[in-house]
Chains A and B, each alone.
Chain A
């Protein structure tokens, strides 16, 4: 693990091109080139927007569903199992399934709408819709994970606290927001941190669904790195981009961990 990382950093200092065989030391040249490049900033913006929207959606939906499951008294086991399925399906396969849903003209949604006489937008071909679709795709795959973890968390909340609140006349939503969410706050921060880290390297689904397109509407940092390394064969520059991503994610996570630790000192 440490060796490949070191090697990546080492490579990032070279003008290393697998195409023309160049291999010269250029120091921080790659980093400078990237930071000066509009495509880099665009892909970073896009990634942040997609990640925040997707994780926000997953969390909101996940919490609502988990709480619903928590209140439900029958059929929970079955629903739980069925809800979890999208998370198990191989991401590439999931992306294909979603393509068949969202595809223009012949996809399930477009086809049904046409059948009703409505002309639908091209979900994967229009830049804005493509971005929305990619967010939905990520949410489809990872909301189950949120549900599962939050549901497990809600079940650990002290029963006597809940009863006390109920006697004091707390309604369904007050109970959730005032009693249960504060009680599982460390878990919430933890699961958000995990999802943020994972969403940043989200690759398979976008690669299969849109390939970063149309144009570069859904080209995230990971896809850009991939394109640099394996299409343009500029390995050095791609490594530099990877290192920048790592620094960015590390910073984000460090902030979150600090936030958790301030509250929860005895966690380990």
Chain B
């Protein structure tokens, strides 16, 4: 026991130390958001100071981040609903097709994963401009669904493949038609997988920057674009942009923490099975 402790404790301290270093940028950003400019620019940096919530309030109430949050939420939720429902059906189809037929399609999907997004952003932009869809939710949602789709299909398929074939056969013998086999039998079985897929889609949609930068306008700007415009340049706004940054991070991090177990399992599953 003693010997085990002697190897375990340094290992733990090493890993905990790495974790601490790893989290420093996040903690530091959080502290900056609570600082008055005087404290934010102190050299050497201050770890202890009089905290203030002024900037958090200012970001949300005066600088219009509330509206950007609404944009982000509308776009994310619509993207998740569309891509998960389409992806689930496609994945079910692929999982039930003979492996030779579906293999080509699956490789095609994987190939799409490696597209440089910038290559798609340009035609999307030109198309959206021609159709007058710039600065609409629709353009952004369609673009996000398109880039997200290969991933949702791929992941959902790995869950459907796990369902034993006998289950489907039993259902159709009992008189289910094709649609009922899908909705009454297959869907309930893969419900945990559905959650995982929805979570990842949400993460992608909420965090997406390049397409949002190109396709949104003043009325549909999402949080990442807003903060990038804000935070970068003017050094006087440090505390303000830190508050905004923390504000963007908190909802998604809290959401993910709550659903952490699903997330980790899904990641492991998706990656191991690929």
Residues of A within 8 A of B (CB): 1, 4-5, 7-8, 11, 65, 68-69, 71-75, 79-86, 88-94, 96-101, 105-106, 108, 111-112, 114-116, 140, 143-145, 148-149, 152-153, 156, 187, 190-191, 194, 197, 200-201, 203-204, 207-208, 211, 221-222, 225-226, 229-230, 235, 238-239, 242-243, 245-246, 249-250, 253, 267-268
Contact = CB atoms under 8 A, between A and B. Distances in A.
A79 B113 contact: no
Contacts of A74: 8, 12
Contacts of B218: none
Nearest to B109: A1
B122 A90 contact: no
A250 B45 contact: no
10 contacts: A68-B15, A75-B12, A92-B225, A92-B228, A93-B249, A97-B29, A101-B28, A148-B264, A201-B116, A268-B99
A22 B42 CA distance: 52
A108 B25 CA distance: 9
Given A100-B28, A203-B209, A90 B22 contact: no
Contacts of B223: 90
A71 B25 CA distance: 27
Given A88-B252, A203-B118, A11 B126 contact: yes
A115 to B, nearest CB: 3
Contacts, number: 231
Interface of B: 4, 8, 11-12, 14-16, 18-19, 22-26, 28-29, 32, 40-45, 99, 103, 106, 111-127, 146, 149-150, 203, 206-207, 209-210, 214, 223-225, 227-228, 231-232, 235, 238, 241-242, 245, 248-249, 252-253, 256-257, 260, 264, 267-268, 271-272, 274
A74 B268 CA distance: 20
B118 A100 contact: no
Contact of A225 (B11, B116, B209, B232): B116
Given A92-B228, A100-B242, 17 more contacts: A1-B146, A1-B149, A5-B115, A8-B123, A74-B12, A83-B22, A90-B248, A96-B245, A99-B232, A105-B43, A111-B43, A115-B44, A116-B44, A201-B118, A225-B119, A250-B111, A268-B106
B25 A94 contact: yes
Nearest to B255: A88
A140 B116 CA distance: 21
Contacts of B257: 81
Contacts of A250: 111, 114
B120 A4 contact: yes
Nearest to B30: A97
Contacts of A245: 116, 118-119
Contacts of A98: 25
Given A74-B12, A149-B267, A235 B122 contact: yes
A253 B113 CA distance: 11
B45 A112 contact: yes
Nearest to A107: B45
Given A93-B227, A152-B271, A153-B272, A197 B118 contact: no
Nearest to A149: B271
Contact of A238 (B32, B115, B122): B122
Nearest to A69: B15
A149 B268 contact: yes
Contacts of B227: 92-93, 96
A11 B12 contact: no
Contacts of B214: 230
B268 A152 contact: yes
B267 A72 contact: no
Nearest to B260: A81
B260 to A, nearest CB: 6
Contact of B11 (A11, A71, A267): A71
Contacts of B122: 8, 11, 225, 229, 235, 238-239, 242
Nearest to B46: A111
B8 A106 contact: no
Nearest to B223: A90
A94 B22 CA distance: 12
A204 B210 contact: yes
Nearest to A110: B43
Contacts of B18: 65, 83
Nearest to A150: B271
Contacts of B42: 111
A208 B45 CA distance: 23
B267 A148 contact: yes
Contact of A92 (B25, B113, B209): B209
Given A4-B120, A90-B252, A111 B8 contact: no
A147 to B, nearest CB: 10
Contacts of B207: 90-92
Given A85-B26, A225-B116, A96 B241 contact: yes
